[in-house]
Chains A and B, each alone.
Chain A
Amino acid sequence: MNRMMANGWNRNRDWFQVGQIWNLSIVTVFILSLPCGIAEADRAPVLYANNFSIEKYDTHTLLTVRNPWRGAENLSFEYALVSKKSPVPDLPVEVQVVRTPVERMSVLETVYLGHVQALNLYDQLAGMPHLNYTNDQRALRQVENGYTKEIQTGNSLNIESLLMLKSDLIFTSAMGNPQIDAHPQLQRAKQPVVVTAGYMEEHPLGRSEWIKFTAVFFDKENEATEIFDRISSEYNRLANMVKRTGNRPTVVANAPFGGVWYVAGGRSYMAQAIADAGGDYVFSDDRSFGGVPKDFESVYFRAGSADFWLNPGPSRSLSSLLELDERFNRFKAFGKGGVFNNTLRVNAYGGNDIWERGTLHPEEVLADLIAIMHPKLLPKHEFVYYERLD
């Protein structure tokens, strides 16, 4: 019976190649712009990320952030980074000035801690949020000994205590929801707030490449480039290795709650990662970027005989999954040890390091996924984020 199980086979886009094409086109633009002498700007190469650019001028470095949240494709933020030693040049009013190198940084999400660790920015870390969800032990120790202050975010964002930190840089990301977003309030308070859009990147390496963006504020571009080059070449090596295998096991992801199964869209980050790891995502024909609500029975119909089941919510064992819903044991992956969760590095409060370290290191996530789906390719692999549920 043809049950459309494998209907993703025709749409598995090859992101490695897309990345290469981007690479070429940006380099071409770069080369073309030089002889024309249009701008004295020196555009730093950005290979995978679509949402930011770095332009060097004599007086300042201009950072542009595009597509900051869903539905804001035409919106962009511009930040002029001016050295503390030189005077501020004349700039359009909408360009926000940040003086560099930054000495006191506050972050409103734990995701930036991956950059703090990689670029060794602990000395500059003035404030951080969500201590319970944080995995970075060094940052937590700094909060304990009072060097770094805890920031309340979300609904309980306390502007006054944030002002007391006297940050010269505040990183945040936004959803385009004035009820939740912090940056409008911080802008009104004349704080040096910078909105990032790493979470809007479609390609895992695009998200990782944002380390270059962070690095500019601390004059650490070379380090960042070095780190990212290592990450991307490892990622591409792994992706190329998988490309040579013909076998593509079918994969389903996420878990239902309240009878509704929010599956990752066919163009989501998760779908991307599965495709790069040589898996055939059962909803890859879907065209959406975020989560899509589906009826449980229709997911079971499509994914009941999938080989692997990834990220089934917070459960860390098959028995706790069964307590959620006893019908899970009808899935083929359930019966033959094909259920894997990214819960290996989760702290006592549910804070998952895959959102801290993992967003910077997609090559580690990819290696885990390859080891799950193609164990013969990486026989000696030790899992970083994933574990088999049993």
Chain B
Amino acid sequence: MSGSTEVTVVQEKGRYALTFGLLAIVTLIVLVANVCLGSVMIPIWEVIGSFLGRGEVDPVISGIVFDFRFPRALTALLGGAALAASGLMMQTVFRNPLADPFVLGVNSGASLGVAVVLLLLAPSGVALTQNLQLSGHLLVVLAATGGAAAVLAVLLVLAQRVDVMSLLILGLMISYGIGSMVSILMFYSMAERLQSFFSWSFGNFGNTTWSQFRVFAPVILLGLGGLFPLFKILDAFLLGERYAKSMGVRVKSARIMILGSASLLAGVVTGFCGPIGFLGIAAPHLCRFLFRTAEHRILVPASMLVGGLVALVADLIAKAPGLESTLPLNAVTALMGAPVIMVALLKQRNLKKVFG
């Protein structure tokens, strides 16, 4: 009896390791493909040459590889990982398979921040932003992150007073409220300003330059690293807050910590790359399907890996290699991901078991 259990445990361990290994290899291949492929066709030896810094490569080519494609691919990898991990935590805390990184309204907070900068301030005060020595993309990043943080702060204060289900609805209501403020701003804006707001809302990994990446990467890595001590608590949450309490988890503070870090990850990605939808809800489901487990010590790292992979693939398609044009990233993530998730769910049919 006990022998066979041991065998299954060993088998499972082997299966997990194999799946992780395969995923890592595929992710690496897609990462390399993202650097090699793009609108401009660059022969592979010139790509390698740009990295080795050999003299004979055209500086325009090495610029494209090193300053455009490489930071973009790394941003996609980290951003995808952050959104997926954040989505997983939200699904667990709210015990709701529909939850995504933005359930608490951090993306609407971010879009209000950006709308204020792009639609309200930009027309009336070109001078204002110039005096602050703060303009362009950095200002957009700060506005989005600030907006997300403001909404998050409000919700975390509320989180101490109400239970999770009320919190979910409160988040939804705040999203609606902020969304309508954004629509009022849009209503009174001229077409070309709306255009810039729309391009932000399509999402894009290609805006992060190296100097921004130096801020983006440490924040994301720190946030992701902070999740690793939380596996047990997350497992307990999945069984319900009452159960978690009986396991000795200090539910309120744990909930606030998890929600806070998940929203922070989502908010930072939204700040730098725009509101990238779908990834955060899809990647955890894909992982549950691939690994057939609800354990967070597997699901958290798996979601990061799958999130990064999906983001890289989506960005590769959005770049439309070989064509000069591009596709909106948000459309690609959903178009590509929705069928995958549908197939996974149809094959799995046991989500109710996971979420009770």
Most interface-central of A133, A257, A305 (chain B CB within 10 A): A257
B217 at the A interface (CB under 8 A): no
B52 at the A interface (CB under 8 A): no
B338 to nearest A CB, angstroms? 23
Known: A326-B211, A330-B63. A296 touches B206 (CB 8 A): yes
A320 at the B interface (CB under 8 A): yes
**25-69 of chain B: CB within 8 A of chain A:** 38-40, 58, 60, 63-64, 67-69
A260, A301, A305, A322: the one contacting B199 at CB < 8 Å is A260
Is A327 a contact of B137 with CB atoms below 8 Å? no
A300 at the B interface (CB under 8 A): yes
In the complex, which residues of chain B have a beta carbon less than 8 angstroms from the beta carbon of A132?
A: 123-124
Is A293 a contact of B325 with CB atoms below 8 Å? yes
Considering the complex, give the chain A residue whose CB is closest to the CB of B138: A323
Is B60 a contact of A3 with CB atoms below 8 Å? yes
In the complex, which residues of chain B have a beta carbon less than 8 angstroms from the beta carbon of A326?
A: 209-211
A236 to nearest B CB, angstroms? 31
In the complex, which residues of chain B have a beta carbon less than 8 angstroms from the beta carbon of A45?
A: none
B157 at the A interface (CB under 8 A): no
Most interface-central of B134, B200, B207, B320 (chain A CB within 10 A): B207
Query: Interface size for chain A: under 10, 10 to 19, 20 to 34, or 35 or more residues?
Result: 35 or more
**250-294 of chain B: CB within 8 A of chain A:** 274
In the complex, which residues of chain A have a beta carbon less than 8 angstroms from the beta carbon of B126?
A: 314, 316, 348, 350
Is A350 a contact of B123 with CB atoms below 8 Å? yes
B184 to nearest A CB, angstroms? 10
A260, A295, A325, A349: the one contacting B209 at CB < 8 Å is A325
- Scoring B residues 196 to 225 as 1 if CB is less than 8 Å from chain A, else 0, what string do you get? 100110101111011100000000000000
Considering the complex, give the chain A residue whose CB is closest to the CB of B68: A297
- Scoring A residues 323 to 345 as 1 if CB is less than 8 Å from chain B, else 0, what string do you get? 11111001000000000000000
B136, B139, B319, B325: the one contacting A325 at CB < 8 Å is B136
B38, B60, B134, B135: the one contacting A305 at CB < 8 Å is B60
Known: A156-B187, A327-B209. A260 touches B127 (CB 8 A): no
In the complex, which residues of chain A have a beta carbon less than 8 angstroms from the beta carbon of B326?
A: 259-260, 293-295
B7 at the A interface (CB under 8 A): no
B6 at the A interface (CB under 8 A): no
- Scoring A residues 267 to 309 as 1 if CB is less than 8 Å from chain B, else 0, what string do you get? 0000000000000000000000000111111101100110000
Is B274 a contact of A300 with CB atoms below 8 Å? no
A199 to B123, CA, bound (A): 23
Q: List 30 A-B contacts (CB under 8 A).
A: A132-B124, A154-B190, A156-B187, A156-B188, A257-B196, A258-B200, A258-B202, A259-B204, A259-B205, A259-B207, A293-B326, A295-B206, A295-B319, A297-B38, A297-B39, A297-B64, A297-B68, A298-B39, A301-B40, A301-B64, A316-B126, A320-B130, A323-B134, A323-B138, A323-B139, A324-B137, A330-B60, A348-B124, A348-B127, A350-B126
CB-CB nearest 7 A-B residue pairs: A258-B199, A324-B136, A298-B39, A323-B136, A259-B206, A259-B204, A295-B39
Q: Which residues of A contact B (CB under 8 A)?
A: 1, 3, 132-133, 154-156, 257-260, 262, 292-298, 300-301, 304-305, 314, 316-317, 320-327, 330, 348-350
